[in-house]
């Protein structure tokens, strides 16, 4: 499988926002994390031109292809240092 680049968006405070994959050429794995880095919502291989409407607030959006448990650990460790 293709190794993922991980992109993280920090909203700076919890929000309830829509996440989309408009203009993406590949399906993306999406993780929405709370301020304490717990998973609020997750989607494996969200296809291009789709919308994700989460039910809860989140602070961080983590995107990538083929995200793994180890990728999530790296993200949590990195964000907790800031």
Q: Residue 9: which residues within 8 A CB-CB, separation 6 or more?
A: 60, 61, 63
Please tell me the pTM assigned to this model.
0.89
6 alpha carbon, distance to own chain's centre: 9
Q: Which residues pair with 62 in a beta bridge?
A: 8, 31
What percent of the chain lies above the pLDDT cut of 90? Answer: 85
The answer to whether the beta carbons of residues 24 and 2 sit under 8 Å apart is: no
Task: Express each pLDDT in 1-31 by its tens digit.
Answer: 556 689 999 999 999 999 999 999 999 999 9
């Amino acid at each position: 499988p293709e190794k993922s680049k991980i992109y993280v968006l920090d909203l700076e405070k919890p929000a309830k926002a829509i996440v989309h994959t408009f203009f993406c050429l590949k399906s993306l794995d999406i993780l929405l994390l709370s301020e304490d880095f717990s998973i609020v919502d997750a989607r494996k291989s969200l296809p291009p031109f789709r919308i994700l409407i989460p039910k809860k607030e989140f602070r961080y959006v983590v995107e990538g292809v083929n995200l793994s448990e180890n990728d999530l650990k790296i993200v949590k460790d990195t964000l907790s240092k800031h």
